[in-house]
Homo-oligomer: A and B are copies of this chain.
Amino acid sequence: MKKRTRTKKQETRKTPPPATAAPTPTPSDAINCASWVSSQEAIRKGQDRFIAIWGEMGTSWGIPRTMAEVHALLYLAGEPLCTDDIMDRLHISRGSASMSVRSLLDWGVLSRVHKRGDRKEYFQAEQDVWRMFRTILRERKRREIDPVLMSLYECRDLTGPDSVGPEADRSNPAVHEHNERLDRMLEFMELVDTLADQFISPAGKGLRVAAGLLGKVM
């Protein structure tokens, strides 16, 4: 569930910082100039590292690496970036950038931004970490937990009274045990589902619950 040996040169950047919120230098004195430059380099390194970590984490949770990397980049950038910025910074193709951005929009963690006098589309990542994870959880539940629950109900019906007769569960121990096992699993999954709803619910309910839990312990 891990491993990867990227042959791409992820470290050998060739372009100077392209779009990452160049803060007005304000070099009050000449001495600070050098330290300012090295700070920018440090930020760049920090960003690269974070992007790599995020991509790695994505893959281990079933998210395409590049998609996660794009997300990390936009989160760190803070400001909206366009497709070309993303391509240049991450060294990926236009198609790849486009697809990743589209997926992230579908997940709801990115928003489109238009700048006046510029026909390009810009993309901005959700900056509120809590809201971001709520969104992710909501999507994951919708796409992966809910369908499983539906399937499990169908599965349960296959050995339910309607399929196998109303007596079977009582008279055939194997049927009974099978149904028991399904029910135990179903019960758990339903609880997870309900819990997820709690965390998803807007207006910080999940937040408060979690904080409360944390408080009780520490």
- Residues in chain A within 8 A of chain B (CB atoms): 1-2, 20-23, 32, 35-36, 38-40, 42-43, 45-47, 49-50, 53, 56-57, 59-64, 75-76, 78, 127, 129-130, 133, 143-144, 148, 151-152, 154-156, 158-159, 163-165, 167-168, 171-175, 177-178, 181-182, 184-185, 187-188, 191, 194-195, 198, 209-211, 213-214, 217-218
Contacts and interface: CB of A to CB of B under 8 A. Distances in A.
Contact of A21 (B144, B174, B194, B213): B174
Contact of A181 (B78, B177, B182, B213): B78
24 contacts: A1-B64, A23-B173, A23-B174, A38-B164, A39-B159, A39-B168, A39-B174, A42-B158, A42-B159, A43-B174, A45-B158, A46-B159, A49-B151, A49-B154, A50-B155, A53-B151, A56-B151, A59-B62, A60-B143, A61-B62, A129-B188, A194-B214, A195-B213, A195-B214
Contacts of A64: 1
A148 B72 CA distance: 14
A178 B209 contact: no
Contacts of A76: 178, 181
